[in-house]
Amino acid sequence: MKIGALALQGDFREHLAMIRSLGVEGIEVRTEEELDRIDGLIIPGGESTAIGRLAAIYGLIEPLRDKINDGLPVLGTCAGMIFLASATLRHEQPQLEVLDVVVERNAFGRQIDSFEAAMAVAGFDDPVHAVFIRAPWIHKVGADVDVLASVEDLESGELRPVFVRQGRILATSFHPELTADTRIHEMLMEVS
Amino acid sequence: MNTSSSERGTDLVKRGLAEMLKGGVIMDVVNVEQARIAEAAGAVAVMALERVPADIRAHGGVARMADPSIVEQIVDAVSIPVMAKSRIGHFVEAQVLESLGVDYIDESEVLTPVDDNHIDKWNFTVPFVCGAKDLGEALRRIGEGAAMIRTKGEPGTGNVVEAVKHMRMMNKQIRRLTVLDENELMAAAKELRAPYMLVKEVAETGDLPVVNFAAGGIATPSDAALMMQLGCDGVFVGSGIFKSGDPAVRARAIVEATTFYKDASKIAKVSRNLGEAMVGINVDTLAPEDRMQDRGL
């Protein structure tokens, strides 16, 4: 098995270190040829506008979309979640539109509102230590999307999904790659 | 989950934002129009300033934090992180910038220092980036709470020579620590004038504990790729973009060269027809008092 991390910008090295710690080969993906060689993909944290724009000018949007729609397993964290989503509230930017959710960017506020906290996840015995950095949340989920974890929007009192699964697509608002917890990466291995 | 039970301003959260900026370009901007050009070009963050370093150099006098209205307008205009500079040691400027909602503060030698003591950065929720010429300086800043480091280079010159020197020095000093015997580390800490615990950590990991960007004199796509190949995590471009002939095109080219820094044919492609680069200054011709890198050691 070979897992690729989209290496246009962001913390792809941390994801690859985590993949390799699980004894799986991890490679950087910047081209369509590299995309053809992998069994699973990670779209890292970073700036979603920068990642989207680089993917667009280097002709990666269509190949990525086709591969994921054909069943390539994928995990997107933070910017990766935004890039996978079908739309973004109040922003127009290049997106893959493969995950049936509308995301809200910087949903918790600016950097001073970034935080870490223990969070329960459906199907996990112990909570994950979730690190949210200028993080998005999901504003609206489609019918085929399972919500695995949510946070409470303190303004509206509504629950906002921060970890979802749609078939072989996994997406988190937070950064498991910044912790030592490999459970979410192992979920990607299981479907790859 | 109730997010009020959470912790803000932790090391992980502060250093984590810098992790997300890696492989990207942070651009100096002085108004909303430039900030939008930078965002559209794929910048991962902007640095909100009143004047870019080349103009600070030309203007002379005391350089201070930007007018809050400029910072606020830029914060409102873009969706990417906004950084802003405070003077070295001026913790009230930093408090003001934090209150404006900036995402990172650059305690910067580009502005006129006010104190031999740097800001106690542990006291803030907002993270700080600081410049360094060598490993000792980097570890002193991290010891004061910096969550990100950048080379100082020589800002506002369009000449990358000093950034190269600082990056090579840091790499060399880190490599040296990794081959020292454990009982040689205290003497090494003394020599570096750096906190022992941080010296020990670098000796064990062979890496800085925080992200390290290149800054100071980067003016072309090749300059950015050079710094990336030398091992930095990303680049700041100060005067190099908006002091050039065609900022939007140059900004995009530098972003692409930073991503594809090992691919010479792609760097060649984006380097074509960029128009006039900023006029450079030979660092040797600078008077000692004009060398910004020697401020705040």
pLDDT band at B3 (very low <50, low <70, confident <90, very high): low
Q: Which of residues 28-47 of B touch A (CB under 8 A)?
A: 39-45
pLDDT band at B5 (very low <50, low <70, confident <90, very high): low
CB A117 to CB B260 under 8 A? Answer: no
* Interface contacts (A, B; CB < 8 Å): 129
Looking at the complex, report in whole angstroms how far the Cα of residue A71 sits from the nearest Cα belonging to chain B.
27
CB A91 to CB B79 under 8 A? Answer: yes
CATH superfamily of A2-191: Class I glutamine amidotransferase (GATase) domain (3.40.50.880)
Catalytic residues of A: 78, 175, 177
In this predicted structure, the answer to whether residue A72 has a pLDDT above a threshold of 60 is: yes
Mean pLDDT of A79-85: 98
* Chain centre to alpha carbon of residue A138: 12
Q: In this predicted model, what pLDDT tens digit does every residue of B84-138 receive, in sequence order?
A: 999 999 999 999 999 999 999 999 999 999 999 999 999 999 999 999 999 999 9
- Which of B5, B20, B125 faces A112 most closely, judged by CB atoms? B125
Task: Provide the b/e sequence for B219-257 (b: ≥16 CB within 10 Å).
Answer: bbbbbbbbbbebebbbbbbbbbbbbbeebebbbbbbbbb
Q: In this predicted model, what pLDDT tens digit does every residue of B29-52 receive, in sequence order?
A: 999 999 999 999 999 999 999 888
CB A49 to CB B8 under 8 A? Answer: no
Mean pLDDT of B149-172: 96
Kindly state whether A116 is in contact with chain B, defined as any CB-CB distance less than 8 angstroms. Answer: yes
ipTM value of the model? 0.96
φ, ψ for residue A167, nearest 5 deg: 60, -120
pTM: 0.96
Question: In the beta sheet, which residues pair with residue B128?
Answer: B105
- Which of B4, B12, B19 faces A11 most closely, judged by CB atoms? B19
Kindly state whether A175 is in contact with chain B, defined as any CB-CB distance less than 8 angstroms. Answer: yes
Q: Could you give the percent of chain A with pLDDT greater than 70?
A: 100
Q: Give yes or no for a contact between B199 and B188, defined as CB atoms under 8 angstroms apart.
A: yes
Q: Give yes or no for a contact between A107 and A160, defined as CB atoms under 8 angstroms apart.
A: yes
Q: In this predicted model, what pLDDT tens digit does every residue of B61-89 receive, in sequence order?
A: 899 999 999 999 999 999 999 999 999 99
In this predicted structure, the answer to whether residue A103 has a pLDDT above a threshold of 80 is: yes
Give the model's pLDDT for residue B50.
87
Kindly state whether A133 is in contact with chain B, defined as any CB-CB distance less than 8 angstroms. Answer: yes
Residues of B in contact with A50 (CB under 8 A): 24, 42-44, 80, 255
Give dist(CA B34, CA A133) in Å, integer. 25
Mean pLDDT of A7-25: 97
Q: In this predicted model, what pLDDT tens digit does every residue of A141-166 receive, in sequence order?
A: 999 999 999 999 988 899 999 999 99
Retrieve residue A171's tokens.
Answer: 């997406």
Among residues B96, B25, B12, the alpha carbon closest in space to that of B261 is found at: B25
Residues of B in contact with A103 (CB under 8 A): none
Looking at the complex, report in whole angstroms how far the Cα of residue B28 sits from the nearest Cα belonging to chain A.
16
The kind and range of the H/E element at B36 are helix B32-41
Residues of A in contact with B76 (CB under 8 A): none
- Average pLDDT score, chain B: 95
- Average pLDDT score, chain A: 96
pLDDT band at B58 (very low <50, low <70, confident <90, very high): confident
Give the model's pLDDT for residue B128.
98
Name which residue leads in pLDDT, B239 or B163: B163
Question: In the beta sheet, which residues pair with residue B8?
Answer: A115
Looking at the complex, report in whole angstroms how far the Cα of residue B61 sits from the nearest Cα belonging to chain A.
32
Asked about B85 being catalytic, the answer comes back as: yes
Q: In this predicted model, what pLDDT tens digit does every residue of A39-55 receive, in sequence order?
A: 999 999 999 999 999 99
Among residues A10, A27, A191, the alpha carbon closest in space to that of A83 is found at: A10
- Which of A30, A53, A152 faces B260 most closely, judged by CB atoms? A30
CB B13 to CB A117 under 8 A? Answer: no
